Amino acid sequence: MILLVLIASILIAAVTIYQYNEEAQDYHRDRLERKEDNIKRHIDFVIRETTWEVKTDNVRLIFKEEIYKIADIHQLQVNLFDLEGGLIKSSKSSIEGDTLSSCLHADILNALSNTSEHRYVEKTTLNNQTFQSSYTYITDKKFKPIAILNLPYLENDEFLNKELIEFLERLGYAYFVMLILAIVLAYFLSKYITKSLKTISDKINATRLEKQNKRIEIDSSSEEIATLVNSYNSMIDELQESAVKLATSEREQAWREMAKQVAHEIKNPLTPMRLSVQSFQRKFDHGDPEIYHKVDEYSKTLIQQIDTMSSIASAFSNFAKMPAQQNETLNVVEIVKLALDIFSEDYIVFVADEKEIISKLDRTQLIRVVTNLVKNATQAIVEDKDPKVVVSVMSEQDMVKIAVSDNGKGVSQENISRIFEPKFTTKSSGMGLGLAMVKNIVETYNGTITFTSQKGRGTIFTVTFPKA
């Protein structure tokens, strides 16, 4: 709309200028013709009243004084030439060679004699001014040509140019107001038109597979917008159905994988238990003097395998259990130090920046996070190196950080991306659920867990929680 207003204003200005130029040319042509007719009538009157014989040789005498009167009355220079093109008389007392020739060009004479009107107009430009010179015959009473009348006419466009400039200024003001109105109208019109599109765009940008997406409800809209909205709503319905099916499939797959893992881990201790019982059956002898010693060994083996099965069940239970949101205002320094009391290793060092750093967390879950990280650190220690595990509690602005570092074997490059995956472990024992559980707990309390590791030099796990 704004572009159309601008184009229309430019086109109208161009057409106006063109029209003014055409009108100016018509005006000067008509004005010269009117002056020429008036001067010729005046000359005819002089010829009728003169006492001189009307012929070419007497033209100078006939118009000796009259030519000045004619020029003064009609406010136009008058030049008279003979039929051969020679200058006879001019109303201009001093004739300059560059403005008036003493002899007419042959083309002018040919044009006069060969045209039906016996009239020729020549247009020239001198010093940025445009001149028109008309040439026509002067006749006697019997309409016989006796001389050539030349009227030099200066095209003075000052008045017309002034009018043109005034008109263009008024037109500019009018179109400026129209442009402002067009901008305002276009703004509100575009807001009205794009309101529905903005709603659709926001809904599309907010569409996510993992969450409940809302349908678009628009009271009034065009047919095209309504078609787009219906297509989006249909897509949302299909997406919701696909999400439900996908979630169901993922849950079923997860339970199948979990069941396989549980069955596999339980079968591992069942095999030695079965072999132990079978061996005991075969070798049982009442008279054996070491029967009690053997029974004790068999019992210890069974108890050890039963404990392994119990730890397997506990690991899966802890992983599946989401941490309850039982927030307490805790001194993180005190709780971390309390969690380290269960470890008897003397190479575990505790460091705290402050004596008290307050945060809202669940005491049990915080202890579980610390014990799991410290346990992993102790298991990463290699035998041919002096072991060292440092647990640090630091305060940084509105966050509290817990760092657990060790000088163990580190994490290999290929395992870095899988370190928090459930069931992933590099140890010969364990379920690989500890770090996955820690990450789950940390993220539940709006925290983050990161780590850095160098192969053969150690690993640092850093847990960050918001302060209270």
Q: For residue 465, which phi and psi values (nearest 5 degrees)?
A: -125, 150
Per-residue pLDDT for 241 more than 50?
A: yes
pLDDT: is 210 or 297 the higher one? 297
What do you get for the CA distance between the two ends of the chain, in Å? Answer: 57
pTM of the model: 0.39
Domains recognised in the chain with CATH numbers: 2-162 (3.30.450.20), 223-320 (1.10.287), 328-466 (3.30.565.10)
Which band of pLDDT confidence, cut at 50, 70 and 90, is reported for residue 219?
A: low
The pLDDT score that the predictor gives to residue 460 is 92
Alpha helices in 284-389 (DSSP H): 291-320, 332-339, 363-379
pLDDT tens by residue, 352-401: 988 899 998 888 888 888 888 998 888 888 877 788 999 999 998 889 99
Whole-number Å distance between alpha carbons of 361 and 325: 8
pLDDT tens by residue, 115-124: 888 899 888 8
Task: Extract the runs of DSSP E, i.e. beta strands, from 24-144.
Answer: 79-81, 87-90, 119-126, 129-139
Whole-number Å distance between alpha carbons of 232 and 223: 14
Q: For residue 75, which phi and psi values (nearest 5 degrees)?
A: 55, 50
pLDDT tens by residue, 280-318: 777 777 777 777 777 777 777 777 777 767 766 666 666
Secondary structure of 131-144 in HEC code, one letter for each residue: EEEEEEEEECCCCC
DSSP one-letter code for 86:
B
Report the share of the chain in percent with pLDDT over 70.
Answer: 83
Please give the angle made by the CA atoms of 338, 343 and 347, to the nearest 5 degrees.
110
In DSSP terms, 95 is beta-bridged to: none
pLDDT tens by residue, 41-85: 999 999 988 888 888 888 889 898 899 999 999 989 999 999 888
Which band of pLDDT confidence, cut at 50, 70 and 90, is reported for residue 426?
A: low
Per DSSP, the residues of 206-217 read H--TTSPPPPP-
Asked if residue 81 lies in contact with residue 146, where contact means CB atoms within 8 angstroms, the answer is no
Per-residue pLDDT for 428 more than 60?
A: no
The pLDDT score that the predictor gives to residue 115 is 84
